[in-house]
Amino acid sequence: MSASASLWPRIEPLLAKVQKPARYIGCEDGSQTPVHGPGKVAWLLVYPDAYEVGLPNQGLQILYEILNERDDAVAERAYAPWLDLEELMRARGVPLFSVDTHRAASDFDVIGFGLAAELVFTNLLNCLDLAGIPIHAERRDETHPIVVGGGHCTFNPEPLADFVDAFVIGDGEEAVGELTARVREWKTSGRTPGSRHNLLRELSHVDGVYVPSMYEVAYDGPDLVAVTPRYADVPEVVEKRTIADLGEWPYPKSQLVPLTEVVHDRLNVEVFRGCTRGCRFCQAGMITRPVRERPAEQVRTMVAEGLRRTGYDEVALTSLSSADFSGIDNLIGDIIDAPENCGQVSVSLPSLRVDAFGVGVASEIQKVRRTGLTFAPEGGTWRLRQVINKLIREEDLYGAVDAAFSQGWRRVKLYFLTGLPTELDEDTLGIAELARNCVAIGKQHNKSASVTASVGGFVPKPHTPFQWFGQNSVEELYRKIGLLRDATRHDRGVQLKWHDPKASLAEGLASRGDRRIGAVIEEVWRRGGTFQEWSEKFDLALWHDAMAAHGLDVEWYVNRHRHEDEVLPWDHVRAGLHKDFLWQDWQDALAEHGIPDCRWTPCYDCGVCTGYGIEHVVASSTPPAGGSQGTGQDLSTGGAVPVTLLPVGGRA
Amino acid sequence: MRVRLRFSKLGKIRFTSHRDVARMFERAFRRTGLPVAYSGGFAPRPKVSFGLALPTGAESVAEYLDVELSRHVDPAALPGSLSPALPVGVDVTAAAAVDGRAPSLQQEVTSCVWVVELPELGEAAVASLAGETLAARTLAATRERKGKPVTDDLRPAIISLTADGTTLTFELATQPRGVRPTEVLGVVRPDIEIGAVRRINQWIERDGARCDPMEVDPAATDAPERNEHVRAGSPTGGDLDAPVDPDGGLRLTQPRAQAAAG
């Protein structure tokens, strides 16, 4: 609110004493130094984890640009200061600051948190506290900023309901403008006493916005009975926001180029949003339906302009399954062969499906340099892959691995989950078997061929068919990993890596918890549990102690199977999927029945397109090599409803 | 052809690391379409070699790098084209062609001049700190190298040290290793708060004369081919204007006093 000075003179002397001080200086190519003003709503977009993890987050970068393009808003960025700087900041009374103009967080009107992972929840509290803002929403008044949350974790907002004023559910591109307009009115009318409540009530009327303080929660013993609006004008159910056409949102236009090392340090171009492969463990695929492809011409333009502007020599074509992009082979070839790229620009495809990876794609990619290849069969046996609806046949995997090794790769990474529904030890051990067979294929091409099998512990997520599944205990996950370690001990060429399953318990609590878990998150934070995403900082005992301190039962929240008629904490937030569709899909999973990809086969009415009146936007109704889900099913009947075909040539 | 660039690193960007700066230049080369030569093999790398690493947090107006180009480019145009493609605070201030077979910057540079601000000490304290440092017969510093403590004497590396107000100017030898002014101060007065640190010169001692790394070989600037030819027939180098020390030894005294004043 105040005419604020930059905190830089107070921050600068601290930076000489910390590790990686470049995390805090801003100055990235693409960063902005907006001019604040009384008629402009000032947003501070915070990724509540370390800079090197937060900076590449595309969601925040998109909103940063969209807000700064508006006449009525400015946006800056902040990240969680690492422990060494936090200690100095607390000792010297320096508050959380933006990296763009080094302004105090409390000088902004809105603090928007990007929530991409549950384990950052304690950092959200820490950021608010460092900003000098009360962590509890109910303790804030007109002098404090509005605290907003967005990102995939908000599809179950309840664990953060005590701390966040408003959640934006789903795509944020349009909603941020609607929030800005209402906050601007509040700001220009002088933030009079009592006006905060009115503003929040007003915000609850915006489509896709959930204001937890407007809802009452009723329990019966441990059981959740209902989450109901306190006022008649507040919606009973909050439906997610979806941008119908990705082509209208060619963001980020000026991707930030960090000055120091970050994860995913490359040009990222989102080629489509949404995925209907239907993997039952995958929350992202369920909550981002339908598939909305970016027109290929626009992708080409964004790649060419992005490379020219940034000087990167790598571009990632991002999405939940990029090999499914219509015409992906041509696109990759065009980028790699473009004369202005001088044969120096490599293309990487995160989330590569094995059924769409052939020698063609492999030989294109390896022309420049062989970026790491990761395939994700997820489950060790065909039976288990039917349960999770990751319908990749063993032959598909071996074909992809053979293509990679034949094109000169020496190492391939395979990603698996363990602790999946119905998983038997033979399924777990199937991981070792697959890895071993892949090494044998590799040895036909190269004596030093090796395979890294990376194993993660499965955490069931809201709005998926597995939301009713009782998560494996930490002990059980350790046992399964132990089985795999024993099984691969004597396999030269198979390297087993695993994520420590300890953190899966905390992730499970935060994923499927109700409002009562807020007190647990607060307790863990008060006991010093920040940066829980970082294995060296994760402390399982903190979470057990905090649960016990609040009389809550870990088993009840995380490990028990839930009932069909149970009220789930996120039932009042909708991703468009019918609950009975999800239940049916859960039953199909238990019966080991797969389900096709509806972008290429007839609609099975999950509820999203029909409910929201939107459709798939894809340039081709023909699936890539491997067919729909690799099952070889006849696709000639597919594509009728509700697939929209982009005009040939697309729009730029 | 090989081109040597001089650049500065000033302001907030000084908190980036040596490796960060390397990445900034690689991106700037690509953005400006500079025909950088690449190494062969599985993972081709641009042929760029940086001089002595600047400590993270220190400023400099005297950083250098050598870049190998696959075809001829007019070096005079490079400061103007590269600076806008680099982040604010990093500017290319000079460029010149150098002999492709010259030793690396790392091998050639013999000393650096550093200016260190000590704002929390008074002028008198800074002056006496300088005297105390120069009077010391040895300055034993222990650092960790490959996980093991190593102790060496920093005193022989101090070529000159002068105090001016609350500013110290060091000239420190870079062979056998690059000693940093903060290391010296850490031994003499480990408790003091060190302010801004800036590198203002790097010097190459050649044939008894001290040269800026940009001045290595004026003949090379416009006609690298001719320079190659001259070099081939002249063991003392093609640096025709430079004074030649007949003994081939190092002339230490005169030029350094001037540097300390700068």
Instruction: Give A210-222 as a DSSP string.
Output: E-GGGEEEEEETT
pLDDT score of A378: 95
Report the distance separating Cα A397 and Cα A415, nearest Å.
12
> Which tokens sit at A63?
């909103």
Tell me how many residue pairs between chain A and chain B have CB atoms under 8 A apart.
59
CB A497 within 8 A of CB A454: yes
Could B28 and A309 be called an inter-chain contact, meaning their C-beta atoms sit closer than 8 Å?
Answer: no
CB A375 within 8 A of CB A357: yes
Q: Please tell me which of the candidates A8, A259, A310 has its beta carbon nearest to residue B16.
A: A259
pLDDT score of B101: 86
Report how far Cα B228 is from the mean position of its chain's Cα atoms. Answer: 25
Report the distance separating Cα B6 and Cα B103, nearest Å.
17
Residues of chain B falling short of pLDDT 70: 42, 216-262
Neighbours of B254 (CB within 10 A): 10
For A161-174, b/e burial (b = at least 16 CB within 10 A) is bbbbbbbbbbbbbb
Could B12 and A26 be called an inter-chain contact, meaning their C-beta atoms sit closer than 8 Å?
Answer: yes
Report the distance separating Cα A234 and Cα B256, nearest Å.
78
pLDDT score of A641: 30
> How near does any CA of chain B get to the CA of A32, in Å?
13
Helix (H) / strand (E) element for A149: namely strand A146-150
> Which tokens sit at A78?
């902040």
CB A14 within 8 A of CB A89: yes
Q: A27: which chain B residues are within 8 Å (Cβ-Cβ)?
A: 12-13, 87-89
Which residues lie below 8 Å from residue B20, measured CB to CB, with a gap of 6+? A22, A259, A260, A261
Strand A41-47 and strand A73-79: the pairing is: parallel
Could B38 and A344 be called an inter-chain contact, meaning their C-beta atoms sit closer than 8 Å?
Answer: yes
pLDDT score of A507: 97
- Which stretches within A149-222 are classed as H helix? 175-188, 195-203
Maximal CA-CA distance, chain B: 59
> How near does any CA of chain A get to the CA of B43, in Å?
6
* CB half-sphere exposure, A202, CA atoms < 13 A: 15
Chain B from 24 to 53: CB within 8 A of any A CB:
24, 26-31, 38, 42-44
> Which tokens sit at A247?
């082509």
pLDDT score of A343: 82
Can you give the length of chain A in residues?
Answer: 652
CB A87 within 8 A of CB A125: no
Q: B17: which chain A residues are within 8 Å (Cβ-Cβ)?
A: 22, 260
Candidates A20, A29, A255, partner chain B, best to mutate (most B CBs within 10 A): A29
B84: cis peptide before it, omega within 30°? no
pLDDT score of A601: 84
Hey, what amino acid is at A629? Q
Percent helix, percent strand, percent coil in chain B, to nearest 5: 30, 30, 35
> How near does any CA of chain A get to the CA of B44, in Å?
8
Could A15 and B26 be called an inter-chain contact, meaning their C-beta atoms sit closer than 8 Å?
Answer: no
CB B115 within 8 A of CB B168: yes
Neighbours of A138 (CB within 10 A): 9
> How near does any CA of chain B get to the CA of A8, in Å?
10
CB A282 within 8 A of CB A464: yes
pLDDT score of A625: 58
Angle at B85 between CA B82 and CA B91, to 5 degrees: 55
Can you give the length of chain B in residues?
Answer: 262
Could B16 and A25 be called an inter-chain contact, meaning their C-beta atoms sit closer than 8 Å?
Answer: yes
Helix/strand/coil (H/E/C) assignment for every residue in B34-74: CCECECCCCCCCECEEECCCCCCCCEEEEEEEEEEECCCCC
CB A284 within 8 A of CB A274: no
Maximal CA-CA distance, chain A: 75
Strand A209-210 and strand A272-273: the pairing is: unpaired
Distances B219 to A558, B216, B248 between C-alpha atoms, Å: 75, 9, 21
Least Cα distance to A345 among B26, B82, B254 occurs for: B26
Q: Using only C-alpha atoms, what is the Rg of chain A?
A: 24
Phi-psi region of A302 (alpha: psi -120 to 50; beta: other; left: phi over 0): alpha
pLDDT score of A357: 75
- Say if residue B146 is exposed, middle or buried (CB neighbours under 10 Å; 0-12, 13-18, 19+): exposed
Report the distance separating Cα A52 and Cα A89, nearest Å.
20
Report CA torsion sign: A552, A553, A558, A564.
negative
DSSP characters over B65-128: EEEEBSS---GGGHHHHHGGGS-TTEEEEEEEEE-TTSPPHHHHEEEEEEEEE-TTS-HHHHHH
pLDDT score of A4: 56
B24, closest residue in chain A (CA to CA):
A259
Asked if B120 reaches chain A (Cβ–Cβ under 8 Å), the answer is no
CB B203 within 8 A of CB B210: yes
Report the distance separating Cα B65 and Cα A246, nearest Å.
43
Least Cα distance to A379 among A362, A354, A400, A357 occurs for: A354
pLDDT score of B224: 40
Hey, what amino acid is at A563? H
Query: Which single residue is written with the structure tokens 């400023």?
Result: B59
Q: Please tell me which of the candidates B16, B30, B57 has its beta carbon nearest to residue A313.
A: B30
Least Cα distance to A604 among A640, A574, A644 occurs for: A640
Chain B from 182 to 201: CB within 8 A of any A CB:
194
A341, closest residue in chain B (CA to CA):
B30
Report CA torsion sign: A574, A576, A580, A582.
negative
Hey, what amino acid is at A628? S
Phi-psi region of A531 (alpha: psi -120 to 50; beta: other; left: phi over 0): left
> How near does any CA of chain A get to the CA of B42, in Å?
7
Candidates B31, B42, B90, B194, partner chain A, best to mutate (most A CBs within 10 A): B31
Report CA torsion sign: A106, A241, A263, A497.
positive
B27, closest residue in chain A (CA to CA):
A311
B29, closest residue in chain A (CA to CA):
A311
Query: Which single residue is written with the structure tokens 């701390």?
Result: A163
Angle at A247 between CA A243 and CA A253, to 5 degrees: 100
Distances A86 to A24, A82, A123, A631 between C-alpha atoms, Å: 12, 6, 12, 53
A308, closest residue in chain B (CA to CA):
B31
A266, closest residue in chain B (CA to CA):
B27
Q: Is the ipTM of this complex over 0.85?
A: yes
> How near does any CA of chain A get to the CA of B66, in Å?
19
pLDDT score of B209: 87
Identify the three-state secondary structure at position A518: helix
CB B242 within 8 A of CB B181: no
Residues of chain A falling short of pLDDT 70: 1-4, 351, 356, 624-652
Q: A24: which chain B residues are within 8 Å (Cβ-Cβ)?
A: 15
CB A419 within 8 A of CB A471: yes
Q: B44: which chain A residues are within 8 Å (Cβ-Cβ)?
A: 344, 369
> How near does any CA of chain B get to the CA of A340, in Å?
9
Distances A491 to A353, A427, A440, A445 between C-alpha atoms, Å: 26, 18, 11, 18
A260, closest residue in chain B (CA to CA):
B20
Could A26 and B44 be called an inter-chain contact, meaning their C-beta atoms sit closer than 8 Å?
Answer: no
pLDDT single digits (tens) A503-539: 999 999 999 999 999 999 999 999 999 999 999 999 9
> How near does any CA of chain B get to the CA of A29, in Å?
7
CB A596 within 8 A of CB A472: no
